[in-house]
Amino acid sequence: MNKSDLPFLTASELSKLMAAKEISPVEVTEAYLERIEALDGKFRSYLTVTADAALEAAKRAEQEIAQGNHRGPMHGVPVAVKDQIYTQGTVTTGGSPVFKDFIPTFDATVIANLKAAGAVLLGKLNMTEFATSGLSHQFDPPRNPWDLERSTGGSSSGSGAATAAFLCATALGEDTGGSVRFPASWCGLAGLRPTWGRVSRYGVMPGVRSMDTIGPLGRTVEDCAITLAAIAGYDPKDRLTSDEPVPDYQAALTGGINGLKVGIVRELVYTDLVEEEVRKSVLDAAAKMKELGAQVDELSIPLAANAGAISAAIRVEAPVTYQDLVRNRLRDIGHDNRISYLVGTIMPASYYYKGLRLRSLIRDQVLAALGGVDLLLSPTTGVAAQLLAPDPVIDSKAAGGRIPWLLSTTFSLANVPALSVPCGFTASGLPIGLQIAGRPFDESTVLRAGHVYEQETDWHTRRPDV
């Protein structure tokens, strides 16, 4: 196989070939670095490329595999991570020039876990500022590989662009209200928000701390499964992580979905937030699952219609986190964050308290729905990728009057796992995402259902012309 063809293999395919010693981690890493050098000037997905360290890690992986010391599915696989995640000795900006000179003295736990799994870190990925903005960037915004004039979605924007443009095998993003699933949907990828507490956040710059969750983006569900397995688990450095056992997610992909009970969430499908061609693709996907043996019915989660407002009340945690910047360096914060942070600082405490109470109620409604079904279905976003705007002050305006990530916020508030997988394309050739949510810590069923649907359709096999 030509070295230049290696980046077009999935992470899972690369993993198997490296384990069999048919290809080398070094040649795979070189292929990615050459591709980044040649193409990322137009995609703007990376803020920092760690080429020398990546090649050293690839050489170690090559030697270990040659000596029979294969660490597992991520050994030798080139990955990249959102620049919200601390990396020892490497600049970590959080998407803001405020931190352009910040160099952490330790690795975040997810980075330490990736290194322990033998993964090769290619670099740090672009993102919206502090991960609290959906579309606007302080650095040059990443371009969507399906249309360079369009957004990748945020806040893990570089994670979406790099993975879709074949500039890394898998990526880590961070999902607060939908920041992994949003770019996955707009870039034609699989992206998973794990259960809150499944993955450590030690060494991760906070956005909205009570909702922030690290998750993978990949070109297939299996790629997400092997990446999640490498980073998940209890961490004594993050007291909010769970000690729930971490299963073998890759092994759990086997089997069908015959007999699974699946609920289509009416409030997230039959709403003017969802364009008709998106709705049709999602309902077609539900019909496909029924054809594959699932029992599919519609159901109601009443407060899902208000998830955006509930989330907005809770997002005042962000200006509290960055209160020193709000007080002393307000002009250094991007325009959209500046406005939302100022509004957050004057929001009455009673609103925040009411938001927390409503969050508890929406979680109860989601869990009650999951008491009767195994999975919940909805669109990931109501619209396909929107045109880039110079300064999308009001994200809903940039999205044609819609706030596209409100559909993902319901499951963020409920702290349940949710996966986005491609389920179609618009008439103009832009990807559409299907959202599959499940019970807390049941990522295995969510991933299995996504994998079965993915393998029975060809949406994930289509490539942007890059």
Q: Is residue 235 a contact partner of residue 200, using CB atoms and an 8 Å limit?
A: yes
Rg value, the chain, Cα: 20
Q: Which residues carry out catalysis?
A: 82, 155, 179
What local confidence, expressed as pLDDT, does residue 402 receive?
54
Q: Residue 287: how many CB atoms within 10 A of its CB?
A: 11
Mean per-residue pLDDT, 25-38: 98
pLDDT digits (tens, 9 = 90+) for 203-228: 999 999 999 999 999 999 999 999 99
Q: Which residue has the higher pLDDT, 395 or 59?
A: 59
Please state the rounded mean pLDDT for residues 43-56. Answer: 98
Q: How many residues belong to the chain?
A: 466
Q: Residue 466 — very low, low, confident or very high, per pLDDT cuts 50/70/90?
A: confident
Instruction: Report the percentage of the chain scoring pLDDT > 90.
Output: 94
55 within 8 A of 24, measured Cβ to Cβ: no
- What is the pLDDT, as a whole number, of residue 399? 43
What is the arrangement of strands in the sheet containing 431-438, beginning at the earlier edge strand?
46-49, 120-125, 78-82, 170-175, 213-218, 190-193, 418-425, 431-438, 375-379, 261-265, 295-299
Given a contact cutoff of 8 angstroms between Cβ atoms, the answer to whether 445 and 418 are in contact is: no
Q: pLDDT by residue (tens digit) across 331-384?
A: 999 988 999 999 999 999 999 999 999 999 999 999 999 999 999 999 999 999
Predicted confidence (pLDDT) at residue 405 exceeds the cutoff of 90 = no
Domain ranges in the chain are: 3-461
pLDDT at position 358 is 98
Listing DSSP states for 229-293 in one string gives: HHHBS--TTSTTS-------TTGGG-S--TT-EEEEEHHHHSSTTS-HHHHHHHHHHHHHHHHTT
Contacts with 225 (C-beta within 8 Å, 6 or more apart), sequence order: 249, 250, 252, 253, 447, 451
The confidence score (pLDDT) of residue 316 equals: 93
Mean pLDDT for the chain?
95
CA distance 412 to 254: 27
- Residue 226, judged by CB atoms within 10 A of its CB (0-12, 13-18, 19+), counts as buried
Residue with tokens 């931190």: 99
Q: Is the pLDDT of residue 191 over 70?
A: yes
32-173-206-344 Cα dihedral, nearest 10 degrees: 120
Tell me which fold the domain 3-461 belongs to: Amidase signature (AS) enzymes (3.90.1300)
Q: Give Cβ neighbours of residue 132 (< 8 Å, ≥ 6 apart).
A: 155, 176, 207, 208, 315, 318, 337, 340
Average pLDDT over residues 440-453: 98
Q: What is the pLDDT of residues 253-281, one digit of tens each?
A: 999 999 999 999 999 999 999 999 999 99
H-helix or E-strand containing 63?
Answer: helix 51-66
- Look at residue 393 in the predicted model and tell me its pLDDT: 44
CA distance 81 to 174: 9
Better-predicted residue by pLDDT, 255 or 403: 255
Quote the Cα angle for 418-183-201, to 5°: 60
Flag whether pLDDT at 394 surpasses 60.
Answer: no
Model confidence band, residue 20 (pLDDT cutoffs 50, 70, 90): very high
In angstroms, the Cα distances linking 21 to 27, 69, 75, 107, 243 are 12, 12, 12, 30, 35
Q: Does 423 have pLDDT greater than 80?
A: yes
Examine the pLDDT at 401 and tell me if it is beyond 80: no
CB 250 within 8 A of CB 229: yes
Measured CA to CA in angstroms, residue 374 lies from 107, 196, 436 at distances of: 36, 18, 10
